[in-house]
Amino acid sequence: MVVRLLCRYLSPRRFSSAVQAGVFFVGLLLVSYLVYSTFLAPGAPPKEVVLDRIARAGRKPGDAYARVRDDTSRRGPGEQGEAVRLSGEEKARGEEDMKKWFMNVVVSDKISLDRSIRDARRDECKSISYDLSSLPRASVVIIFTDEAWTPLLRTVHSVINRSPPELLQEVILLDDNSQRDELKEKLDEYVKRFDGLVKIVRKNVRHGLIRAKLAGAREATGEVVVFLDSHCEANHGWLEPLVARIAENPSVIICPIIDYINSKDFSYSGDPYAQSVGGFTWSLHFTWEPLSESEKQRRKSPTEYIRSPTMAGGLLAANREYFFHVGGYDEEMDIWGGENLEISFRVWTCGGSIEFIPCSHVGHIFRDGHPYNMTGRGGNKDVHGTNSKRLAEVWMDDYKRMYYLHRSDLKTKDVGDLSERHKLRKDLQCKPFKWFLDNIVPDKFIPDENVQEYGMVQAVVGGQKICLDTLQQDEKGSYGMGIYFCQGGGSSAQLISLARDGRLRRETSCAHGVVRERETSGTVVMRNCREKGDEWKREGDQLRHANSGLCLSIRGIKSGEKVIIEVCDASAPEQQWKFVKS
């Protein structure tokens, strides 16, 4: 019966022309082949996968891979970006993982590689429509060295699941000399399911993440190159706004908003209203800073890009030609660190810009340590330091002195040949670092410029030189300012400025006088200068705290203890302070 019906249906008389018949039969063959290869062939994937493949048949590589559409009804460990809690023996194994991997791999292994996560975008982003056919295609480069299996593959799955096929040229897995067998043996087999969309490039010499990114970008064929760390999850609609912005302006280097994936329980937290931008410290570390007033004013809509002075480093997208035109990365930087500030200073001063795209979100597992060997070439145990010296020497002009305040040990250190990077800077006719300071980070405090006084703040009592000193307290939080024997040699723990505005401060922390009610002396607490910071006045050699009227003093305190403020006494040697250079 079925056969008879089929024969009748397929009878040539039904076609008005031979061409139509031909098209029909070719189509039928294709569909039968797909049905066979997917349903009947060994290891056939599930039905949804097959239907999706059929729907996409005959298009670009990888299109036959079923992209899992996020499903708010998905349930299971970690679905919807929820935390996974372990107990018993698994919990113990998970805790071991934290020491080895700095992430809980037991938890990761329990979560589907296609897990659902909540859309982290604000509503205004969701209603933007993109003309996919006219946007450039992107190569997504994921670099890794001995990454754990499931976090690495979840990165790949999330990229493929949440990128429109029209925009995804390829995914390049750049293996930076991993040693684990599963990464060497099983990965090639695994990625076959992506039907040519995922390429593996292996380096049999450890490159370090900077050269690894360059190597990945050199393999890329898309007009846009996107870099990701190997423990990310791309969020809904992450790719469209990135490529759209690059299409609009090819000389921008842009970053998605980096959402937080907890390394212990893998919960995903996205902030739709995230408004932080990148900054830096003079010791050349990356910092998060609040959005400046001027940038708030400039932006016309909450979906518009945010100009950022620097970037965190891992997650970025660029027009591939522009990326290389503007100098890629410094090939001589090793293993980890420094390249993110280098590319930031370079792009801004050489005519481009760094932007964050609020409608693009990607989650990243922030780890407390590095699960791989951090030693660079020649046994270098200080790759961040030496990489940063390269950037300071090439891009910061005389302001490199600020870096050497923190790292005087590196002043004479050989960090390799810099001539190519100097030449790049000259060829691109990049602006001086001062331009960057004046125009891109006008609020950045420069401890020795435009200040009333700067140096070690020294009192001499009984022939002994005593200086204000941070006493190695963490400058990130607030802490009581101390005193210590003067160190000389430009020890950064003792360098303090009396700024134009009367604030007694360091790079980011400002001195507050703290006096309890009805008391006539108090302490000096350093807090982030974002909280306004008290005013201090010079009176002769005294330093008077304006609010309380008390003076900075070391009466009755020893080296290693906290400095005080007390009733001013112009004749007390404990209250006479000089800013000295060394």
For residue 155 the two structure tokens come to 């990165």
Residue 149's contacts (CB-CB under 8 Å, 6 or more residues apart) are 109, 182, 183
Residue nearest to ligand UD2 (CB): 313
Give residue 81's Cα distance to chain centre: 20
Question: Which of ligand UD2, Mn ion, none is residue 315 near (CB under 5 to 8 Å by kind)?
Answer: ligand UD2
Closest to Mn ion by CB, 327 vs 337, is 337
The residue behind tokens 């979840």 is 154
Give, as ranges, the residues between 231 and 270 that touch ligand UD2 (CB under 6 A). Answer: 258
Residue 326, number of CB atoms within 10 A of its CB: 20
Closest to ligand UD2 by CB, 227 vs 436, is 227
Task: By CB under 5 A, tell whether 507 contacts Mn ion.
Answer: no
Backbone angles phi, psi at 373, to 5 degrees: -65, 125
Task: By CB under 6 A, tell whether 79 contacts ligand UD2.
Answer: no
Task: By CB under 6 A, tell whether 335 contacts ligand UD2.
Answer: yes
Question: Which of Mn ion, ligand UD2, none is residue 336 near (CB under 5 to 8 Å by kind)?
Answer: ligand UD2
Question: Which of Mn ion, ligand UD2, none is residue 550 near (CB under 5 to 8 Å by kind)?
Answer: none
Residue 272's contacts (CB-CB under 8 Å, 6 or more residues apart) are 120, 121, 122, 123, 125
Pick one of 70, 170, 176, 342: the residue that binds ligand UD2 (CB under 6 A).
Answer: 176
Task: By CB under 6 A, tell whether 364 contacts ligand UD2.
Answer: yes
Pick one of 167, 244, 315, 495: the residue that binds ligand UD2 (CB under 6 A).
Answer: 315
Pick one of 101, 372, 454, 479: the residue that binds ligand UD2 (CB under 6 A).
Answer: 372
Pick one of 314, 455, 482, 513: the residue that binds ligand UD2 (CB under 6 A).
Answer: 314
- Region from 123-131, 330-338, 409-417, 450-458 binding ligand UD2, contact rule CB under 6 A: 330-338
CB 432 within 8 A of CB 397: yes
Q: What angle do CA 103, 384, 334 make, to 5 degrees?
A: 90
Q: How many residues bind ligand UD2 (CB under 6 A)?
A: 24
CA contacts within 13 A on the Cβ side of 163? 30
Task: By CB under 5 A, tell whether 259 contacts Mn ion.
Answer: no
Closest to ligand UD2 by CB, 107 vs 468, is 107
Task: By CB under 6 A, tell whether 342 contacts ligand UD2.
Answer: no
- Report d(CA 106, CA 133) in Å as an integer: 41
Task: By CB under 6 A, tell whether 336 contacts ligand UD2.
Answer: yes
SS3 542: strand
> 502: closest CA among 470, 529, 467?
529
For residue 191, the minimal CB distance to Mn ion (Å) is 21
Closest to ligand UD2 by CB, 276 vs 473, is 276
Task: By CB under 6 A, tell whether 145 contacts ligand UD2.
Answer: yes
Task: By CB under 6 A, tell whether 230 contacts ligand UD2.
Answer: yes
Task: By CB under 6 A, tell whether 340 contacts ligand UD2.
Answer: yes
Task: By CB under 6 A, tell whether 144 contacts ligand UD2.
Answer: yes
SS3 285: coil
For residue 401, the minimal CB distance to ligand UD2 (Å) is 24
- Region from 11-19, 336-344, 559-567, 572-580 binding ligand UD2, contact rule CB under 6 A: 336-344
H or E stretch at 55: helix 47-56
Query: Is residue 131 exposed (0-12), middle (13-18) or buried (19+ Cβ within 10 Å)?
Result: exposed
For residue 138 the two structure tokens come to 């992107």
Q: What angle do CA 12, 17, 18 make, to 5 degrees?
A: 70
Closest to ligand UD2 by CB, 339 vs 469, is 339
For residue 496, the minimal CB distance to Mn ion (Å) is 35
Question: Which of ligand UD2, Mn ion, none is residue 340 near (CB under 5 to 8 Å by kind)?
Answer: ligand UD2
For residue 40 the two structure tokens come to 């009947």
For residue 210, the minimal CB distance to Mn ion (Å) is 14
For residue 102, the minimal CB distance to ligand UD2 (Å) is 9
Closest to Mn ion by CB, 241 vs 337, is 337
- Which amino acid appears at position 486 of this protein? C
- Per-residue interface string for the shown chain with Mn ion, residues 189-228, x marking contact by CB under 5 A: ----------------------------------------
Pick one of 82, 229, 339, 566: the residue that binds Mn ion (CB under 5 A).
Answer: 229
Task: By CB under 6 A, tell whether 212 contacts ligand UD2.
Answer: yes
List the beta bridge partners of residue 455: 496
- Which amino acid appears at position 37 of this protein? S
Task: By CB under 6 A, tell whether 534 contacts ligand UD2.
Answer: no
- Region from 144-152, 442-450, 532-540, 561-569 binding ligand UD2, contact rule CB under 6 A: 144-152
Closest to ligand UD2 by CB, 230 vs 470, is 230
> 279: closest CA among 316, 314, 310?
310
Question: Which of ligand UD2, Mn ion, none is residue 575 near (CB under 5 to 8 Å by kind)?
Answer: none
Backbone angles phi, psi at 201, to 5 degrees: -120, 125
- Which amino acid appears at position 252 of this protein? V
CA contacts within 13 A on the Cβ side of 112? 18
What is the total residue count of the chain? Answer: 582
Plot region of 487 (φ>0 → left; ψ -120 to 50 → alpha; else → beta)? alpha
- Which amino acid appears at position 503 of this protein? R
Query: Is residue 506 exposed (0-12), middle (13-18) or buried (19+ Cβ within 10 Å)?
Result: buried
Site residues, Mn ion (CB under 5 A): 229
Site residues, ligand UD2 (CB under 6 A): 143-145, 147, 176, 206, 208-209, 212, 229-230, 258, 312-315, 335-337, 339-340, 364, 370, 372
